Amino acid sequence: MAVSTSAPKSLLVNTLSSLTGSLLAKGMGFLSVLMLSRALGVAGFGLYSLAFSYWGFLNALVDLGVANIVLREIAKPGADIRACMESAIYIRLFGCILFLLPAWLLTKPLGLDPVVVGLVILGILTGFEMFYDTYFTAEGRMDWVAKTRVCTQVMTLILLAVAAVLKAPLWVFLLIIFLNPL
């Protein structure tokens, strides 16, 4: 039986792509934070951080562990990838609807502006990054995950730079970050 030499090459390409993409994306994320902190000032960056933390908390609740389940199902031989992805999208939308009212009810106790909370909820509704990662990971295409992350970070960094130059208000920065598909 002949041993395939494409598996080690694929593993090497995927590993190097993933590592390079992660490092580049994190570096650009760091630059974004530097730009945001300077453009928004101390108080504005504090509100941005609060909104982003709120988004992370609600996003974890809305996920309902779907990413892990979808990845497991897609990895099965003969899996219907399209059906798995569609089901995951419906579950995520259900999670968004489920946590929509509690998100609004927490607005006043947290001292968040309703516009900021609206943007956070919009970010959660459009936050389907796990579907890209899950699909490309199941397909063994970590290089695609890396490429999409780097391209998205470059676009986001450019949009943030334009917003900073134009001295845009906080909600514009949040809109750029939360509508980022990845």
| Euclidean distance between CA atoms 157 and 174, whole angstroms | 13
Residue pLDDT, tens place only, 28-40: 888 888 888 889 8
Over 50: is that where the pLDDT of 4 sits?
Answer: no
Structure tokens at 70: 């979808």
pLDDT (tens digit per residue) in 45-74: 888 888 878 777 777 777 777 777 777 777
Q: Are 160 and 30 in contact (CB under 8 A)?
A: no
> What is the pLDDT, as a whole number, of residue 126?
65
Summarised one tens digit per residue, pLDDT across range 112-162 is 777 777 777 777 766 666 666 666 666 666 677 777 778 878 888 898 899
Question: Residue with structure tokens 């909104």?
Answer: 51
Distance CA 137, CA 36 (A): 31
